[in-house]
Structures are given as C-alpha cells and as structure tokens.
Amino acid sequence: MTCNASEPTARQLTLSDAMVEALDQEMLDDGDVILLGEDVGRMGGVAGQTRGLFARHGPERVLDTPISEAAFFGLAAGAAQRGLRPVVELMRVDFAGVAMDQILNYIAKIGYCTGGKRRVPLTIMTQVGNPLRQGAVHAQTLYGMFSHIPGLKVVAPSNSYDAKGLLHASVRCDDPVVYFFHSSLLSIPYGSGLETWTAISVPEQAYQIPLGVARTAREGSDVTVVSASYTVHDCLRVAQQLAKESGISCEVVDLRSLVPLDIDHIIASVEKTGRLLVVDEDYGFAGLSGEIVAQVCESGVPLRQPPRRLTRRHVPIPYSRVLDDAVRPSVSRIKECICGMVEPARAAGR
C-alpha cells in the first residue's frame, strides 16, 4: 500500500487512533473480543491506544486489571480456549519479565504441544521504544526475544495503515500474536520530524494485512536496507538524503511481521541490489538482525560484499541521552554505514 498523504483525499489517522479504530471495529464485529490490561479502560491506555473503548463497549469487555501480569495473561490464555478472543496489553515490553512464564511456557507452547487440540487466539499488545529516554527498563524493543520463542507470531508496524491492518489480522488470527507498537510512532502523522511518507492514508472500513508479508517502502538499486517499526523511518530519511546528496539508491524493506519472517521478500530485494544492511533498534547479539543476515547468506543469493548489521550495542539502555546516542542506531550511523558499503565500490568502478 503506497497511498500518500499528499493526495488530497488521504484519510490521516495517528497510529494510536488507527489502533483504536481497529479494536473498536473488531469489538463491534465480534462480541467475543475482549480487551484487558492495566489502564486500558477508563483511562484509554497510557498512550491513548485504547481511548474511548471503555465508554463504547463497557466494563465487561474492556477490563482494567490489577498490576498482576502473570495472572491476567493466564486469564487471557484460558479465556481464549473457551471461545473468547482476548486482546491483552502488556503496558511496556520491558514488563515482560513478570508475565513471561505464561507467554514462554504456556501461551506459545500449548498449541503445538497439544497437537493442535487447543489453540490460543490471543493478541498481546505492547509498547516499545525510547522517545522519552527513560533508561534501561522503559525503553527496550525486545523484538528478537519474542521472535526466538516458537509458537508466537510477531508484528511491528511502522505506520498507521499497517498498524490498523495488522491489528485486525492479529485479532482474527487463531494463534497468539505479539503486536509491538512503538512509542515514537504513536502520534504520526503529526509527530515532529517525521517525513510526509509516514502519513499514508487509512481506510475507514476494516481490512487485514496478512501476517508474514513485508513491504518495500522505497525502491532502490544499490543496497537493500531492512528494518521494522520506528527505524524504518530513519532508513527512509537516510535513503532520501543519500539520493539527493550522493546518488546512492537505497531500497528500504519494512518487515511489518517479524514472525513469520518474509525472507523471500528480502532475498528478492538483495538479488536486485547485491547488498544488505539490517537496521534493528533491538540488541544485536543473538538477535533478529543476525537471523536475517544468516538466512540471506544461506540462501546463496549473490552478494557484492559482506552484509552488515546496525543495531543497539550489547549493553542495557543507558539513561543519559549522550550515552544512549552512543549505542543506538541513528540516522547518522545508518548513513555512514551505507556510504561505507557503497562508496568504495563506486570509487573502484564496481
């Protein structure tokens, strides 16, 4: 979907409003969809991502829970096996630790380990990212940690259109889906510093974006830059700058889904460009970025030079802005990395 906000007919929604719209439509459409989590009811979510749903659907279906993630994740998992379709929110992904046994050892496993006799149609909605520079435990993304667990589907939308379509698909999915929404994207298209391409049109009617399908956010020929969620925008910004400044042509692939991973889409792009850079806001070591690089290498697709990764350094996220800036992927690092990959080859006439 490449609708552009510059079209006069474009219907712009912030990412959080797109989420509210998807949840509202799902709840209207199916009485078995319930929403539960901390402050998702009366308050409408700490980031407005469930605003208005309590008033519209009532306290029996939009449930403010105590601070008891293990208990209410278990509750959601049990209810999901009796015909309900719970959307359960983990306020921030950093809080996963206190819910993790339910996710790791029950929700993810019970479908496979019962030979499909039980399924857990459950959406885990959770906020990631670090726009407020809140330090080590209110800032992580943890894409890799969840993707590593067999039995979970994982999505991470980068824009309002995908946010709505992926949320519809997640709620409809008969498997547990982890839905990462990024703090830095909640107010797009109105957020400062974000380019116009973030403001793609969001249809009012319900629609699904299939899980496991990536999209090409920008076409290019020199290098494939793969990313997800917020860092897709950093990659697009770099691509725009490089096109103007040095004529380097970047193809930006927005993963949308981390599990299933649309590796064919990535390989097809690398086949065209011959170069691969994976930009991941998550920790690099033993993470998703390494997985993507490995799968591309294993595919045997010809590469003009070794693939690169640009990720968070392998340290907890430091609080001070200047320390955080030293260990996270950023526009300048992405740019430097791409130039380092493409320019020497150009100088050598390859």
Partner 1 sequence: MSSNDEQLRTVVRTMIRARIFEESLGDEFAKQREHAKRAFGGRNGAFEDHNAEYTIPIQGNIELSIGQEAAAAALCSWLNTDDYAAGTHRSHALAIAKGVRMDRILAEIYGRATGLVGGRGGDFMLNDPDVNFENSAIMAQLTGVALGHAFAHRRQSSSGIAAVFIGDGASNQGIVHEAMNLAALWALPVIFVIEDNGYAISTERARSSSVEDLAVRALAYGMPGRSLDDSSLNEIVEGFGSAVARARSGAGPGLVVVHTHRLRGAFEGDNQSYRPAGELEREARRDALALYVEDLLSRGIIDAVWLDEARSAAIREFEEGLSLAEASPYPDPATAQEGLFA
Q: Which residues bind partner 1 (CB under 8 A)?
A: 60, 65-66, 68, 70-84, 86, 101-102, 105-106, 109-119, 121, 150-151, 153, 173-175
In the complex, minimum distance from the CB of residue 153 to partner 1, in angstroms, rounded to a whole number: 7
- Cα distances from 233 to residues 106, 167, 182, 230, in angstroms, run 35, 20, 12, 6
CA dihedral 104, 107, 109, 114 (to 10 degrees): 160
Catalytic residue among 57, 138, 168, 265: 138
The widest CA-to-CA distance across the chain, in whole angstroms, is: 67
For partner 1, the closer CB: 34 or 93: 34
314 is annotated as an active-site residue:
no
* Min separation Cβ 149 and partner 1, Å: 11
CB of 16 to partner 1, least distance (A): 27
Sheet architecture: strand order including 33-37? 62-64, 33-37, 85-92, 123-128, 177-182, 153-155, 257-259
Can you tell me whether residue 173 is helix, strand or coil?
coil
In angstroms, give the least distance from the CB of 137 to partner 1.
Answer: 18
Closest CA to 333 of 238, 197, 218: 238
Nearer to partner 1 among residue 110 and residue 278 (C-beta): 110
Cα 11 to Cα 196, 199, 291: the distances in Å are 13, 9, 36
| 82 vs 244 by CB, closer to partner 1 | 82
141 backbone dihedrals φ, ψ, rounded to 5°: -115, -40
- Residue 151 or 220: the one with the smaller Cβ distance to partner 1 is 151
| Residues annotated as part of the active site | 138
